[in-house]
Structure 1
Amino acid sequence: MIDRRRVLKALSKYPVYSPPFHNSEAVLSRSEIAANYNYFLEQKARRLEFLASYLRHFFVELSLSPEALPALDNWLLRYGGHLIPNGGEVLFAMNDYEPAWVGEYHGVNIIHDISIFAGDYIVMKNDKVRWSVNYGDGTKRDYEEIGFGQPCLVGLSHFAYTGNYSIFHGIYEFCYAGLRRLRNGGRGSKWERDIPGELVRRLNYLADPDPPPQIPVSQLTIDD
């Protein structure tokens, strides 16, 4: 409860991210997605300033350097679960920007801004990767794809991260792991995101322009 109070107290005046077009009723058009992406690019630097100011309440200094990652990793491991409402449709809020990221959804703003930081770190280190936006692949139900209509990373050659990678949902998974630990009395699971240092490992892995080849699951089974 003390951790939750600290998160919410520091969050009370955190600026809300709200692009011009929301898509709770209909699929966004290509021009609307482009307008939202332009808004993202315009706001990106300011969002990192907001995040850095917020994390200072917890004595975490944010910078795009490997040395800063462990402190953010530790913070996310301890506090990330408190950013997600215990009920509600948080994934719909993330994908559609509705319900608005206020009230019980206010913590989504922090998840979003940490994803900007993580994406910028990867782009800075890996010259093959850049920010883009997921317009879909033209299939009939591509709007159901994770991260449709949202900023994403493209150019990753890493196993399971090619195409349009939604770093926003990647950071959300760390927070969701924290929420599960809170529900389970602090007990983790075998999920990688429950492991201390996993955020550091993940970001440095994706920041490597020449990642080591992935060992096939079949080979791992043989080795075991």
Structure 2
Amino acid sequence: MDEKSHMKLWIIILAAVFIVVAAAGVYTAMNKMDAKENKTNDTDLGTIMINWYFPEFPQLVDNSDLIVVATVTGEKGVWDTPDGQKPANMTEYKDNYGQISTEYTFQTDDILKGTVNDTFTGRVKGGTLDGYTFTAQKVPTFENNDTVLLFIQYPKDENGTVIQQNYVQIGFPNAFIETANGNFTSEYYGDVTLTQVKEEIAS
């Protein structure tokens, strides 16, 4: 092999080594990025899409145990655990489809049907707590000082006995928000007035 060929061979070898080292560097950088993304995703508990049943408005009124006008006074995230505390094993909680809800505090303004305290709490699926997020699509969201009209059904056992809870569960069909003209509106049902609701209750 002449000197010129020998030189070309060394250039090829050095180029190959450079490519391998560069590829290794890119692979390492990508692994670090993936690890960072996975670490971020560890705080994501997932997303659910709830398929709600929307009864006709007269049936919504008839089925409700409580119909109340109330003002939103606060909100916080809560763990959907029996004791409401953060799970000790978050990996296991996530693997078992653990969830977070948003708990709203309401000041009672006007009770149209049923009974409720002067203040009460209601929960909506989805929320953020302790850096973890659980997303629920098609659920009502409120802001402080919103005035809302809620149609609540209490959970019952197989005998029809109400299961006691320290909060009410609020679904997408059950919440109307007050508009500028004093009516209450829902994405599905549109605008309703309190007079309409009272007439429906009396019918």
TM-score by length of 1: 0.24
Higher helix share: 1
Which structure is larger by alpha-carbon Rg, 1 or 2? 2
